[in-house]
Amino acid sequence: MTTRLLFVCLGNICRSPSAENIMNHLIEQRQLSDRVSCDSAGTASYHIGSAPDQRMAAAAMRQGVTLKGQARQFTAADFETFDLILAMDRSNYSDILALAADEHRHKVKLMCEFCRHHSEAEVPDPYYGGEAGFDYVIELLIDACEGLCDQIEGAPIGT
């Protein structure tokens, strides 16, 4: 059974595509491609069709991860498609739950719930900050994605 993951932030050009691509990188390293698939989306429509932010892509590349993809907006139909929907912050979490039927609410989690080494509750939005903020978000997402991979290797989510 394939576990289908959806990473969600506000505009789908910084945090969620980074999480998607970091997770894909780890899935390949851990040879889990037959068990896990990933996508990302934004709660807002600001950047539909846009590539990941260049500053975020540079930060990811410094950690050996290439960011690919095009921004899209989260829709209620995503609840049917994905087993786990990972919000980057509480605002995204609330926006996602606003579209959720009762039977889908359990699928929505905060990304930082999977961190092993960081104690943050949310992944900060680096969009209006400097290079250090983008680097920190990549570091935080690597931690959370490694924790998520560990959990998936233990027992598939959604089964």
Residues forming the active site: 9, 15, 125
Query: For residue 20, which of 150, 145, 149 has the smallest C-alpha distance?
Result: 145
Q: Cα–Cα distance between 97 and 118 in angstroms, integer?
A: 25
Distance separating the N- and C-terminal Cα atoms of the chain: 8
Where do runs of H (alpha helix) occur along the chain?
A: 15-29, 54-61, 78-81, 90-97, 131-154
Q: Cα–Cα distance between 73 and 8 in angstroms, integer?
A: 9
